[in-house]
Amino acid sequence: MSVSFSMLGLGTEIINALVEQGYEQPTPIQAAAIPKALAGHDLIAAAQTGTGKTAAFMLPSLERLKRYANPSASPAMHPVRMLVLTPTRELASQINTNTQNYIKHLPLRHTVLFGGVNMDKQTESLRAGCEIVVATVGRLLDHVKQKNIQLNKVEIVVLDEADRMLDMGFIDDIRTIMRMLPKTRQTLLFSATFSPEIRKLAQDFMQQPEKIEVAAQNATNANVEQHIIAVDAHRKRELLERLIKYLRMPQVIVFCKTKQSAEMVTRDLMSRELSVSAIHGDKTQQARLETLAKFKEGSLRVLVATDVAARGLDIAELPFVINYEMPTQAEDYVHRIGRTGRAGANGVAISLMQADEEKMYHAINALTGNHLPVSRIEGFEPHWQIGERQAAHTAMNEQENKQESKRVARVRRQNQISPNKPYQPANVTINHDSVLQNNRRRGRERRTCALFQANFGVHF
C-alpha cells in the first residue's frame, strides 16, 4: 500500500496546498521524516536537494506551528517561531518559494534573509512580525546585531545542508546562533554527509536525535542516465553545441569547473545562437536571481554554472545536465547530476571527458560504485585511449593515488556506505535509446537522433 500525505498526520490546509502543487504522494524522505518531526523529535536526516527534503522539514513544522496562525496585524502576535539556516542565497530563496506554496491556506507569515541585497526590506518584514524565517547565516547575524530580530521564541530550527555550511566555514556562526535559541526547541538537521564535525554539532545542540536514512536516496538518481563521452579538449565546444542542438535539449544546465571557463562557454554558445546565461561567483546576487528566474520560466535554454553557484538549485523536471568539464571533487559529480531526474522525473547526464580528466572519472566510479561506460561520438573521436594516461599516472604518483583512495574510503565511511554497496546512484542502467524515448515522452522530440543512435554504445 502506498503512503499518502494524510496518513502521515498532516491537516487539510497543508494537504490542499500539496494537491494544488500536484504532489501525489510523499517521497521516501518525507514519509520517514514527517511523522517523527510531527511527534516533536529532533532529527538528523541524510538527504540531498532533489529528494523532497524541503517539504520533509517544512510540512510537519507548519502543522506544528499552525496553532499560532492568526490574522492579527500586530507584530507582537507574530514572533519568530521557526528558523531555517541554509548555506546559500539561492537555497534560501528556493526554500522560501516552497514555503510560500505550502503555507497558502494558513495565516502564518514567512520571510527570507540573505546577503548581497539591501537590508531595509528584510528589516521591514521582520519588524512587521513573521513566524518563519529562512536565512543565510551571515545575514541573519547582521540582523541580530542590528536588533531587527528576536530569537527567544524560536521552537523549531532547521540546519539545511549542514555539511555545506561547515564546508563554507560557518561553524562558529552556527554555534553562535544556536546558543541564542531557547533550550527547549526542536532541531532538524539535514546533511548529505556525516563528518565528525556534523556529529559534534548534533551532540552539542540536539536532544536524542532520531536518525533518518532513506535508502531510496538512490531512487531519484536511478532515474538519471549517465553518459561519459571521451573527447579531445579542443573539440568540446563544438561537441557541446552539437549535443544541445541535435538532441533538441529544451533546457540544459552546463557545468564548468571555473568562472573563467563558464564565461568562455557562455560566450561561445552565444556566438552559436543559443539563448544562454551564466551563474558563478563573480555575478551579483541580483544577476544570479534574474538568470535563474529566466531559466525557470523557460525563456533561457542553457544555464552555465559553476559548482558553488549551482549548489541547491531546484529546477523542476530538468531533462538534461552536461558536464562540460569534470568536477574537481567526485562528490560534486553526484550533486551535479542530481539537478536532473528530480522527484521521480527522468533525466540524462552527459559528461565530456578530456584526457587529463580521466583520473576524476575513475574517482567518480570509485565513489559511486559504478562502472560508467565511456562512449565516443563519430567525428569527435579523441586522440587518446582510456587507461593510457592512467597507467603512466599510477606509476608516477602512487602516493597521490593512495591518498585519493583513502579520501574516497573516508567519504564512503562518512556516508555509511559499506565497501561493497554502491554509493549513489545505484546501478544506473545505460540505455541509449531511452534518451530519445525520454524526449519523446516529454513530447518535444519526435525525430530520431542520429548522433546518439549511431554512435553511443561504441565503448573503449
- Alpha helical stretches, state H, 168-246: 171-180, 196-205, 217-221, 236-246
* 160 sits near ligand AMP (criterion: CB under 6 A): no
Q: Shortest approach of ligand AMP to residue 46 CB, angstroms?
A: 13
* 283 sits near ligand AMP (criterion: CB under 6 A): no
* 50 sits near ligand AMP (criterion: CB under 6 A): yes
Q: How far is CA 151 from the centre of its chain?
A: 28
* 55 sits near ligand AMP (criterion: CB under 6 A): yes
Alpha carbon distances (Å) from 430 to 33, 189, 227, 457: 32, 34, 7, 9
Whichever of 158 and 178 has its CB closer to ligand AMP, that residue is 158
Interface with ligand AMP: number of residues (CB under 6 A) = 16
* 340 sits near ligand AMP (criterion: CB under 6 A): no
> For residue 244, what are the contacts with CB-CB under 8 A and spacing of at least 6?
252, 269, 274, 301, 302, 322
* 370 sits near ligand AMP (criterion: CB under 6 A): no
Q: How far is CA 26 from the centre of its chain?
A: 18
* 319 sits near ligand AMP (criterion: CB under 6 A): no
Residue 431 burial (CB < 10 Å; 0-12/13-18/19+)?
Answer: exposed
Taking residue 301's Cβ as centre, other Cβ atoms within 10 Å add up to 16
Binding test (CB under 6 A) with ligand AMP, winner from 8, 31, 37, 53: 53
Whichever of 15 and 144 has its CB closer to ligand AMP, that residue is 15
* 49 sits near ligand AMP (criterion: CB under 6 A): yes
Of 90-149, binders to ligand AMP (CB under 6 A) are: 98
- Residue 105 has phi, psi (to 5 degrees) of -100, 20
Whichever of 243 and 348 has its CB closer to ligand AMP, that residue is 348
Q: Shortest approach of ligand AMP to residue 360 CB, angstroms?
A: 26
How far is Cα 343 from Cα 252, in angstroms, rounded to an integer?
A: 17
Q: Shortest approach of ligand AMP to residue 417 CB, angstroms?
A: 20
Taking residue 356's Cβ as centre, other Cβ atoms within 10 Å add up to 12
Part of the chain binding ligand AMP (CB under 6 A), chosen from 48-56, 259-267, 368-376, 448-456: 48-56
What is the DSSP track for 41-86? --EEEE--TTSSHHHHHHHHHHHHHGGG------GGGS---EEEEE
Binding test (CB under 6 A) with ligand AMP, winner from 8, 13, 23, 353: 23
Of 342-361, binders to ligand AMP (CB under 6 A) are: 342-343
- Residue 215 has phi, psi (to 5 degrees) of -55, -35
Residues that bind ligand AMP (CB under 6 A): 23, 26-27, 30, 49-55, 98, 314, 316, 342-343
